[in-house]
Chain A
Amino acid sequence: MVALGDVVVRATGIEKYFGEHHVLRGIDLEVRKHETVMLVGRSGSGKTTMLRCLNFLEEPTVGAVEIDGVRVEADPLHARSRRHQEQIRQIRLRAGMLFQDFNLFPHMTVLQNCIEAPTRVRRIPKDQAVATAERFLDKVGLTEKRDEHPARLSGGQKQRVAIARALCMEPQVLMFDEPTSALDPELVGEVLKTMEELAHEGSTMIVVTHEMSFAREAADRVIFMDDGLIVEEGPPEQVLDAPREERTQQFLRRFLRDASA
């Protein structure tokens, strides 16, 4: 494991309402360089919304996010203003996002998926972007698929391409939103293995997941959320094996029962 560095992601006082529904009720989160943080909790606990608030795919109702020195305050009244959108874009350039259903661009090949944003957003020369893309495709083990369209790939391969695509933007932090939930069981392993390698190499990662054994293996810190709040956080052996809070214990008991059923 790589020693942790300075704080890269800092979210303060994040609250989110969907209509009248208070989904996030005041969350503070700090993630340090090289750290792997996993958000766990039952569905509806707000963990996915929290992750999406970090890069403003959901505009928080209240609070602020700072990633790698760029700080953006929630501004729901002027969410569409040019200035606010540009600030958000600066945050997004520093945070790579992985989705449950991959969201590869179906009209582009694997390679084109990987070089689209680097060449058009970062304006990196094409040959250089291709070289970077090939390096990361090699890393996720999909060099031979570079000229295929996403439709020709398995779910696991798609998610690994999505990881390569995110890495090509050289983000400060990678954010995963249940990256294996849409996969057939036999394909989950290859994605988790790739993520574990990234964690061990010192990538900074925030992962929303239901894979408890993966969290135990790869997390530096596990955060248990319930009802829009952080209930308990700490190293995995503490939160997952010796939880102090009643609600965490309940969640894990039910989780183990469902897993063994």
Chain B
Amino acid sequence: MSLMVAARPPILEEIDRARRSTGRRHRLTFAATWVVIMLLIGAAIYATGNRDTDWIASFGPFILGGAGITVVVSVLSIMLAVVLALLGALGRLSSNSVINGLASFYVSLVRGTPLLVQIYFIYFSLPALGIILPAIEAGVLALGFNYGAYMTEIFRAGIQAVPRGQREAAEALGMPEGLVQRRIVLPQATRIVIPAIGNDFIAMIKDSALVSLIGVQELFWRAGTTGRPARNTLEAFIIAALVYWALTIVFSFFQERLEKRMARGDR
């Protein structure tokens, strides 16, 4: 290697400068597009005369308060879903035909019926069997069960994506099956599925609106209950939509950071 540092040719500086200014221009136009669209929508609504700022001031905070319940329901549900998905995936990959059958049955049943039916069944039908659950518990159970089935396939793909050699190396070291799975395969599979879990979590935030139908007083329930009687549905549902949107943006941001952090260990 030469000890002399060659002077950086001026053309490189110019390329850098040009690239920076293109980037800046691009970001600016991009943001401007968003602002213009939102202003247009706002102006259109304004022009129709549907603007009840008094109503927004008195009920807005109540609707916003539902966001907390939405987040709690979503977080609890995704945690349940992850546990079920892990068990489901191990079951689907098991050579034990009973366990395998059980896991396949779960996935097939849940994926074959509408989420709304599942929510209603757990809240309105289980009491006929003597199982009575409060609304939030019933909602979390239904969402967790539903997403767990879809995520079973994600986990299964993640486990199968861990290179075969990893399992072989662990087995060659004399590790019994349980250890191979717990210490070698699953930690690597987890990294693979994290982006997909993040996606599902964001989808879950939005699907959690369905539990309003069994009376969970989350974001969407609050918008509907306050907006409809007063005929302020426009304001109410715009607020709800904006809050869902904001929540998904916030969680997407965290998801991206998490992915970057996990990728760092690998390279």
Contact = CB atoms under 8 A, between A and B. Distances in A.
Nearest to B169: A103
A85 interface: yes
Contact of A103 (B168, B175, B176): B168
Contacts of B266: 106, 149, 151
Contacts of A97: 168-169, 172
B171 A121 contact: no
B75 interface: no
Contact of A121 (B177, B179, B265): B179
Interface residues of B, number: 23
Interface string A90-106: 00110111010101111
A165 B174 CA distance: 12
A121 B175 contact: yes
A254 interface: no
Interface string B132-172: 00000000000000000000000000000001011011111
Nearest to B176: A89
Contacts of B177: 85
Interface string B186-209: 011001000000000000000000
Contacts of A72: none
B267 interface: yes
Interface string B85-120: 000000000010000000000000000000000000
Interface residues of A, number: 26
A57 B163 CA distance: 15
B241 interface: no
B165 A107 contact: no
B173 A103 contact: no
A101 B169 CA distance: 10
Nearest to B173: A117
B267 A121 contact: no
B184 interface: yes
A59 interface: no
Contact of B174 (A93, A106, A149): A93
Interface of B: 95, 163, 165-166, 168-177, 179, 183-184, 187-188, 191, 265-267
Interface of A: 55, 57, 80, 85, 89, 92-93, 95-97, 99, 101, 103-107, 116-117, 120-121, 149, 151, 165-166, 169
28 contacts: A57-B168, A57-B171, A57-B172, A85-B177, A89-B176, A92-B171, A92-B173, A93-B174, A96-B172, A96-B173, A97-B168, A97-B169, A97-B172, A101-B165, A103-B165, A103-B169, A105-B166, A105-B169, A107-B188, A107-B191, A116-B173, A117-B174, A117-B175, A120-B179, A121-B174, A149-B265, A149-B266, A151-B266
The 3 closest A-B pairs by CB, nearest first: A103-B169, A97-B172, A117-B173
